[in-house]
């Protein structure tokens, strides 16, 4: 029988982050009995704080903090991780891999406290890099994670933690659910400082170029690399649906709307009403050449897939970033 979040005492790890903050809001709206929101950042650095949640500052890399966080909880959503955009991931491999401590200790704490179900946020970075060399990529199916050749550092940690979830299910009976996120974006996210992802970075660069009158934009790579981008509302809807489902294997959670980075810039320029000269930085981190989400499994199992169009989501994101810029907000959180 599906495990509902309605009425459950729920823990969100990484609640001070972009996706975590939005997820806390959705869980409260959907009737969780209580939501305990936990993050390592000081409260004034959280992306969002919901006053209806119990907001705690804890370092979940330690087992003791995880035990404190999981006490009395029935549902755990484990989103806590050190991560960012491609520039951050490629230059902080050890830091990314240390997130394995958080997931391992949270699994141990969930088991010790009798948690009913444990959701883990994995990433499309787990997929075999050999299948992502061509911008005209064939959409990635869940089985394409093996034989293993994930993104170095961050991807390896995510794939290892997926296996930990699997074995805690098999060996200890802890109900685990795993979703592989594909490039989540939207308002309230990181948009400057080095950890931002492509949609936010492009929105910021386009707005800065328009405001300054210097109509140029630097693009990392040749602009032909392809991605799909999932709007935050689709992400949190999918997280709750996968948590409540009987899907025990890792599953894609991403948009199947494939675009090149050049096309992403096209949309941002159109929304801002500006046309920019493009300067391609071929030495900058750019990740794999092509990646898209094959949504066959999620459509089959849930009858749903992320469907908010890039142009619609980017319009909301750009509007929010412009508001931050106009009000002088510079925090990178």
- Vertex 74: Cα angle to 69 and 77 (nearest 5): 65
Distance (Å, whole) CA 305 – CA 303: 7
- Vertex 66: Cα angle to 240 and 156 (nearest 5): 70
Please tell me whether residue 37 adopts helix, strand or coil conformation: strand
* CA dist list (Å): 15 to 53, 127, 146, 217, 248: 10, 26, 31, 33, 24
Beta bridge partners of 123: 181
Q: Active-site residue among 47, 120, 154, 243?
A: 154
- Vertex 50: Cα angle to 40 and 108 (nearest 5): 40
Q: Which residue do the tokens 């911008």 mark? A: 135
Contact 64, 58 (CB under 8 A): no
154 is an active site residue? yes
Distance (Å, whole) CA 77 – CA 23: 9
Show which residues are catalytic.
Answer: 154
């Amino acid at each position: 029988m599906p495990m509902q979040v309605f009425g459950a005492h729920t823990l969100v790890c990484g609640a001070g982050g972009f996706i975590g903050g939005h997820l806390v809001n959705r869980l409260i709206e959907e009737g969780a009995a209580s939501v305990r929101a936990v993050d390592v950042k000081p409260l004034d650095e959280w992306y969002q704080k919901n006053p209806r949640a119990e907001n705690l500052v804890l370092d979940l890399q330690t087992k003791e903090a995880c035990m404190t966080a999981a006490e009395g909880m029935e549902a755990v959503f484990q989103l806590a991780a050190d991560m960012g955009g491609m520039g951050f991931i490629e230059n902080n491999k050890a830091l990314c891999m240390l997130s394995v401590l958080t997931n391992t200790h949270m699994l141990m704490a969930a088991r010790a406290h009798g948690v009913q179900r444990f959701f883990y946020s994995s990433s499309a970075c787990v997929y075999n890099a050999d299948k992502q060399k061509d911008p005209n990529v064939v959409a990635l199916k869940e089985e394409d994670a093996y034989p293993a050749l994930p993104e170095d550092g961050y991807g390896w940690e995510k794939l290892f933690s997926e296996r930990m979830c699997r074995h805690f299910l098999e060996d200890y009976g802890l109900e685990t659910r795993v979703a592989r996120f594909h490039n989540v974006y939207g308002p309230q996210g990181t948009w400057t400082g080095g950890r931002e992802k492509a949609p936010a970075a492009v929105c910021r660069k386009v707005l800065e170029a328009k405001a300054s009158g210097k109509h140029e934009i630097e693009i990392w790579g040749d602009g032909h690399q392809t991605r799909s981008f999932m709007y935050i509302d689709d992400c949190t809807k999918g997280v709750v649906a996968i948590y409540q489902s009987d899907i025990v294997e890792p599953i894609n959670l991403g948009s199947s709307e494939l675009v090149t980075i050049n096309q992403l810039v096209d949309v941002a320029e159109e929304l801002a009403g500006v046309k920019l000269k493009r300067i391609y930085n071929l030495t900058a981190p750019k990740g794999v050449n092509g990646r898209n989400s094959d949504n066959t499994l999620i459509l089959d199992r849930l009858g749903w897939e992320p469907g908010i169009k890039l142009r619609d989501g980017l319009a909301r994101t750009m509007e929010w970033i412009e508001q931050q810029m106009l009000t002088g907000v510079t925090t990178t959180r």
